[in-house]
Amino acid sequence: MTHREAEVLRELLAGRSNKEIAHDLGISVRTAEVHRANVMAKARARGLAGLIKIAVAADPAQLQGLLGTGTEAYREHKAGSALAASEELMSLSTPDKAR
């Protein structure tokens, strides 16, 4: 997973829309949609709910850290455990030969 895809994943886990993600990351909505599709494909998730389930299974603290926080707390948190969860998610979905 690329760094940008990890950022998009963190935003998705926080419940943000493609438009909000694009604004927050300074990219176009279409680019956010492409990154989201790449994340979904790499995680082999059929939908957002499946992606969230996979991410939470990789790091249960991930969801707890994002729920019930305000925007400021979210922004402080997103650089921490969310990246670790993103990396763990990718290690789970990467074929053995590519590891």
pLDDT digits (tens, 9 = 90+) for 4-21: 998 999 999 889 999 999
| CA dist., res. 66 & res. 75, Å (int) | 10
- Is 10 part of a structural domain of the chain? yes
Residues 30-54: pLDDT tens digits?
Answer: 999 999 999 999 989 999 999 988 8
Do the domain assignments include residue 28? Answer: yes
Whether 96 maps to a domain, the answer reads: no
Residue 51 lies in a domain: yes
DSSP string, 9-72: HHHHHTT--HHHHHHHHT--HHHHHHHHHHHHHHHT-SSHHHHHHHHHHH-HHHHHHHTT--HH
pLDDT more than 70, % of the chain:
60
Residue 31 contacts residue 11 (beta carbons within 8 Å): no
CATH number for the domain that contains residue 59: 1.10.10.10
Whole-number average pLDDT of the chain: 77
**pLDDT of res. 18:** 96
The domain containing residue 45 runs over which residues? 3-91
Q: What is the pLDDT of residue 5?
A: 92
pTM over 0.85: no
- Residue 25 scores a pLDDT above 60: yes
Spatial distance between the Cα atoms of 61 and 55, rounded to a whole number of angstroms: 10
pLDDT of residue 99: 45
Structural domains in the chain (count): 1
